[in-house]
Amino acid sequence: MKILGVDPGTTRIGWGLIEHQEGALRLLDYGTLEIKDKTQQARLLTLGNSFHNLLIKMTPDIAGIEQLFFAKNQKTALSVAEARGVLLLEMMRAEIPVFEYRPIEIKQAVANFGRTDKRGVAKMVALLLGVPALKGHDDASDALAIAIATYYLHRRGAAE
């Protein structure tokens, strides 16, 4: 089973693809989509096209995405919500089951503690995937954490 994790943002979207095979989680690929368009409308269009192409390349069986939780700046929160909507739409169009999780649920599933900081989460992600360290932006390691949480929480939900 291939599991995609998505960390939504306005100009940088993290993604991570893992696989569960023979009782173990394995890292397949991860990275970020960098959106540099000047207007929100152009960013959303570029995001939709880029993410669509990524989904075609990766062919995940299920996906997890972080719920919007931080609204200190309402303008930023609205922009992230719009981007998140585009990401959800593309996954639904591709007929990929999508599960949504709060940050605390993701941290609890990966690090067994809902208040773990980003560095602690990244270390646990690397440990769980059997890699020495993760490179790149936090958005990508966060996306891998979402993929791992999706595996654990989806598996638990299917068993109940």
Q: Which residues are catalytic?
A: 7, 66, 139
In angstroms, the CA 81 to CA 86 distance is 9
Helix axes 118-129, 138-159, angle to 10 degrees: 60
